[in-house]
Structure 1
């Protein structure tokens, strides 16, 4: 008995990010010097970073602005 062949839809193109390269746009949460989560606005990145900082106060959390290439330390 032959198995039916299922049609595979084209997968949506996904945005591939690399942890060793800074992004070209948006804002990124940087934890202990490593790029982690990427966001469209600074406010959402800061909320995420502050959530990490409140849960794990020993971490060094920064917000990286890709447009100006500036890191802002969250205290």
Structure 2
């Protein structure tokens, strides 16, 4: 079965976040020194980081605050 082809004006552009460039706003998870998922608030980043650390305790997970350009450990 063939997939329907969407016209070019209906295709949404992908938002690609590069892992080697620090975000300019919000909060991001830094996993083993690499930027990962982006969040709008610190609480969401803390919860996601805690869940990730519970599943994979061998990882080093930090929260990056783009406003102050600092990395902090999970609380």
TM-score, normalised relative to structure 2 = 0.83
Which whole-Å deviations, capped at 9, do the CAs of 1:2-61 have from their partners, x for residues lacking one?
A: xxxx66052223322100000000100010000010000000011000001111111100
TM-score, normalised relative to structure 1 = 0.83
Residues in 1 aligned to 2:45 and 2:68: alpha-carbon distance in whole angstroms: 15
Q: Which residue of the partner structure matches residue 3 of structure 1?
A: none
Q: Which residue of the partner structure matches residue 41 of structure 1?
A: 41
Greater CA deviation, 30-39 or 10-19? Answer: 10-19
Which blocks of at least 5 consecutive residues in structure 2 are unaligned? none
SS at the partner of 1:46? Answer: helix
Counting only pairs closer than 5 Å after superposition, residues 1-75 of structure 1 correspond to structure 2 as: 8-10=7-9, 11-74=11-74
Which blocks of at least 5 consecutive residues in structure 1 are unaligned? 1-5
Query: Which structure has the greater CA radius of gyration?
Result: 1
